[in-house]
């Protein structure tokens, strides 16, 4: 296949940037990947990816896209020690709101719900090694991108970069520049300089605070490989995630979206997690060896920059990943969305249509829109405030509770819910008459228990396991 151009630049070597470089290497003679951090050779935490110290997983759709971009990578991850969960309900504990999802039934299509659980540094190191092996990709780490450069016609022709050690500036020429520098991306400011309008920002507050601890649990001490309370409720706006990572390491993440004061020490985090996780898993966490210190981070708001709605956009420039849309990290969607955007970029480049930015931003908006709406609805149920919003919030919470109750009672409902969470099916699937009828039937089934209410007062009280 003939190349589209001579040179392309990718700004940022996190997951979105690495995947962009992989795609562009098929279409440009040379690709330069510019990163401000000095990139490690192995799976090390780095300053530019603070979220790497918190809970991550590849949703099934994201792992499928990653496997398309890097054939054999998924098997490589498993061989190197990554945990993978197939049709193993007994090894998964998921609590949706007040209800535990069914763990006894079998799924009709288990192959579509395979979950890969590499830690973020582990996954990035393997992807980075693959990208480094591509002959026409050059990684320029330890450099900041000062700004893209445009000609008089406002076509982007390259970028100005600076060596962080020496302060020396260099101009890199390119036919295409991709901004994958995350939530703090400078593209809106660059558009201002060129005289373009900034993209409209859709934004809603989340007020998320989360604390995480890496651990080592001796092999065989606990059967579950994933435990997740994914549906905080208004009276208990706290959730927990516990995932098995590579080499007998685990991540424990406690998160709060309602202003409850979280503990920031390991003992307090485990005590609070004991309200939502199985006693056997909590016992294993108490016996585990902490690896490093507790990491605490805040996420104030989700933001979607609507580049797809701009009337004009400079040729030769694209934006990817969190630089377009940042999602509530509790849902673990960021890496999957980056992989899907990389596939969209590959498809748009293969079409060889001249208006690349318009087609790419339209494709990404189509991917983002249903996820954004579902997340916003979920986050809305925990927001504060009275008036008509409180009435609507109670109605949505009632509906959500009914879905959770049905998922605890019917494996088909649980599977449908998980398929939407993994982007296998669109959220509209949960509104189809066949699903709604099953949901009603599951809620009418005799013997369904009403779970006891629980809450977190902010103290580090332990769950009574006797």
The mean per-residue pLDDT over the stretch 417-423 comes to 89
Of 11, 10, 16, nearest in space to 30 by CA: 10
pLDDT tens, position by position, 55-92: 988 899 999 999 999 999 999 999 999 999 876 767 88
pLDDT digits (tens, 9 = 90+) for 35-47: 999 999 999 999 8
Highest mean pLDDT out of 165-179, 223-237, 376-390? 165-179
Note the pLDDT of residue 232.
Answer: 54
Quick: pLDDT tens for 365-387. Answer: 999 999 999 888 877 766 655 45
Q: For residue 437, what pLDDT band results from cuts at 50, 70 and 90?
A: confident
Domain boundaries, the chain: 5-51+121-202+302-375
CB 64 within 8 A of CB 335: no
In our burial notation (b when 16+ CB lie closer than 10 A, e otherwise), range 267-279 reads ebbbbbbbbbbbe
Contacts of 171 (CB under 8 A, 6+ apart): 149, 158, 159, 160, 161
Query: What local confidence, expressed as pLDDT, does residue 451 receive?
Result: 42
Cβ neighbours around 71 below 10 Å, total: 10
β partners of residue 96: 99
The encoded tokens of residue 211 equal 């604390």
Q: How far apart are CA 121 and CA 104, in angstroms?
A: 33
Helix axis angle for 60-69 and 15-24, nearest 10°, is 40
Using DSSP bridges, classify how beta strands 83-85 and 249-256 pair: parallel, antiparallel or unpaired.
unpaired
What does the alpha-carbon distance between residue 194 and residue 153 come to, in Å, rounded to a whole number? 10
d(CA 188, CA 113): 37
The H or E element that residue 417 is part of is helix 411-421
Distance, CA of 195 to CA of 100 (rounded, Å): 53
Confidence of residue 435 (pLDDT cuts 50, 70, 90): confident
pLDDT at 448 over 80: no
pLDDT greater than 90 at residue 12? yes
Q: What is the pLDDT of residue 106?
A: 77
Least confident interval from 33-47, 96-110, 282-296, 404-418: 96-110
Per-residue pLDDT at 396: 67
The CATH number corresponding to 5-51+121-202+302-375 among 3.30.70.3150, 3.40.50.2300, 3.50.50.60, 3.40.1590.10 equals 3.50.50.60
CA distance 265 to 261: 12
**Bigger pLDDT: 213 vs 279:** 213
Residue 238 pLDDT class (50, 70, 90 cuts): confident
Q: Is the C-alpha dihedral spanning 448, 450, 456, 460 positive or negative?
A: negative
Task: Give the mean model confidence (pLDDT) for residues 427-449.
Answer: 79
pTM: 0.90
pLDDT band of residue 339 (cuts 50, 70, 90) is: very high
Distance between the two ends of the chain, CA-based, in angstroms? Answer: 66
Asked which of 254-263, 293-302, 403-412 is least confident by mean pLDDT, the reply is: 254-263
Residue 213 has pLDDT above 60, yes or no: yes
Q: Say if residues 221 and 287 touch (Cβ distance below 8 Å).
A: yes
């Amino acid at each position: 296949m003939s190349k589209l151009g001579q040179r392309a630049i990718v700004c940022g070597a996190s997951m979105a940037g690495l995947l962009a470089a992989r795609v562009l290497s098929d279409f440009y003679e040379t690709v330069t990947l510019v990163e401000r951090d000095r990139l490690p050779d192995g799976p090390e935490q780095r300053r530019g990816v603070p979220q790497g110290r918190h809970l991550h997983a590849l949703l099934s759709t994201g792992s499928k896209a990653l496997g398309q971009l890097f054939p054999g990578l998924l098997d490589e991850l498993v061989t190197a020690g990554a945990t993978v969960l197939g049709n193993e309900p007994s090894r998964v504990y998921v609590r949706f709101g007040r209800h535990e999802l069914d763990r006894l039934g079998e799924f009709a299509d288990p192959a579509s719900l395979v979950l890969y659980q590499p830690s973020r540094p582990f996954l990035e190191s393997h992807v980075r090694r693959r990208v480094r092996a591509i002959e026409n990709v050059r990684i320029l780490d330890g450099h900041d991108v000062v700004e893209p450069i445009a000609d008089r016609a406002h076509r982007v022709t390259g970028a100005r970069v600076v060596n962080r050690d020496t302060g020396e500036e260099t101009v890199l020429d390119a036919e295409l520049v991709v901004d994958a520098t995350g939530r703090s991306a400078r593209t809106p400011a660059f558009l201002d300089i060129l005289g373009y309008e900034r993209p409209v920002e859709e934004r809603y507050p989340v007020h998320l605070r989360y604390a995480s601890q890496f651990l080592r649990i001796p092999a065989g001490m606990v059967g579950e490989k994933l435990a997740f309370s994914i549906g905080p409720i208004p009276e208990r706006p706290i959730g927990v995630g516990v995932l098995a990572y590579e080499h007998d390491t685990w991540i424990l993440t406690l998160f709060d979206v309602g202003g409850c004061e979280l503990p920031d020490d390991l003992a307090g985090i485990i005590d609070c997690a004991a309200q939502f996780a199985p006693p056997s898993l909590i016992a294993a966490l108490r016996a585990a060896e902490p690896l490093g210190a507790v990491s605490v981070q805040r996420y104030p708001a989700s933001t979607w920059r609507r580049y797809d709605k701009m009337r004009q956009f400079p040729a030769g420039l694209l934006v990817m990943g969190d630089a377009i849309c940042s999602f509530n990290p509790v849902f673990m969607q960021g890496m999957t969305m980056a992989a899907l955007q990389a596939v969209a970029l590959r498809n748009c480049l293969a079409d060889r249509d001249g208006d690349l930015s318009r087609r790419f931003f339209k494709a990404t908006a189509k991917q983002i829109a249903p996820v954004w709406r579902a997340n916003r609805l979920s986050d809305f149920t925990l927001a504060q405030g009275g008036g008509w919003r409180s009435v609507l919030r109670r109605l949505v919470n009632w509906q959500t509770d009914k879905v959770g109750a049905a998922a605890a009672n019917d494996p088909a409902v649980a599977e449908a819910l998980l398929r939407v969470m993994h982007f296998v099916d669109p959220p509209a699937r949960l509104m189809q008459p066949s699903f709604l009828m099953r949901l009603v039937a599951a809620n009418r089934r005799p013997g369904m228990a009403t779970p006891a209410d629980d809450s977190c007062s902010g103290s580090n009280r332990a769950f009574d396991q006797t």
